[in-house]
Amino acid sequence: MFYDDDADLALIRKKKVAVIGYGSQGHAQALSLRDSGVDVCIGLLPESSSREKALARGFRVLTPAEAAAEAEVIVMLVPDQRARGLYAETIAPGLRPGNALVFGHGFNVRFGYITVPEGIDMFLVAPKAPGHLLRREYESGRGVPVLVAVESDSSGHAWPLALSYAKAIGGLRAGGIKTTFAEETETDLFGEQSVLCGGASQLVMYGFETLVEAGYQPEVAYFECLHELKLIVDLMYEGGIAKQRWSCSDTAEFGDYVSGPRVITPDVKDNMRAVLADIVDGTFAKRFIDDQDLGAPEFHSLREQGLKHQIEATGRELRSLMGWIQQRDADYRGTAARG
């Protein structure tokens, strides 16, 4: 583990930094870097919808090629499917020996979509929180944990610079965990697909469908299988599975022990192993990138299919009655047209 005392903030303060992208992580890291005394510019394509947001916060906004050409540290914070092309067309031509390339997620490096030439340092600082939470914690004088890895250390100083960068975004206030690009990427994709996104979403939908198909009201099924999930997850977040079990009724806790293994059987673990195998051998990455290269027909079809599920219509109706739930934010439109 690394903490603030393990890093020298002066190292990143001596560098010109270009943050490529101004989305969830881009805006949070750029703002925190600047507040830590770092010289930061933003690299965005001319047509980017984020240009006005970055300009409004007082940043110099250049094209990615211009930003990379003048910077010593280039931070790639763009979506995985766009990083490869953007890097090849606008970043790579401007790289100079002694530059450092930084990633917030190891996907493109792990699966070989991005490689760097000799003389370039390459490291990873991956916050374990979305950008808005990273920024909020920084502003509160706290931080969120980060994973830190070095893939290429041409200068011999990549590790000190990586830790300096992690400190500048507030990550070492909470702690930095040493890892590798491969470990960060493979575990991140596995967690998303098998538990956090894919697993949780499918479990909720199957529970909802089971109750509705048995004749129960969809509104009641929604409350029992989706709405109350937040209460359970919050308890786990605060004190682990043990606190969740301690906080619920004895009836619920007993049901947890005897019925959980009936639903999540050893076969599910076997399926998880298959998911992990597809991640490690590159099968998932190829499927995703190949689909994106074709205009994402499978991605958009699956999104449209999900939006048509009965649980979505039921949820929209019920949430409209809950004044304490924020229905929308500035970016989420809740439609298949989301870009």
Which residues are known catalytic residues? 105
Task: Find the Cα–Cα–Cα–Cα dihedral 139, 140, 144, 148, rounded to 10°.
Answer: 50
259 marked as part of a ligand binding site: no
CA–CA distance, 146 with 126 (Å, rounded to integer) = 5
The answer to whether 131 is a known ligand-binding residue is: yes
Sheet with 61-62, side-by-side order of all strands: 61-62, 39-43, 16-20, 73-76, 100-103, 121-127, 146-152, 176-178
52 is in an annotated binding site: no
Whole-number Å distance between alpha carbons of 260 and 253: 10
Q: Is 334 annotated as a binding residue?
A: no
164 annotated to a ligand binding site? no
Supply the DSSP string of 37-63, one letter for each residue.
Answer: T-EEEEE--TT-TTHHHHHHTT--EE-
32 annotated among ligand-binding-site residues: no
Residue 194 labeled ligand binder = no
User: Does the annotation list 292 as a binding residue?
Assistant: no
Is residue 155 marked as binding?
no
Residue 237 assigned to a binding site? no
d(CA 149, CA 224): 41
Burial class (CB in 10 A: 0-12, 13-18, 19+), 240: exposed
Binding-site annotation: residue ranges: 22-25, 48, 50, 131, 188, 192, 224, 228, 249
Binding-site annotation: residue ranges for Mg(2+): 188, 192, 224, 228
Binding-site annotation: residue ranges for substrate: 249
Binding-site annotation: residue ranges for NADP(+): 22-25, 48, 50, 131
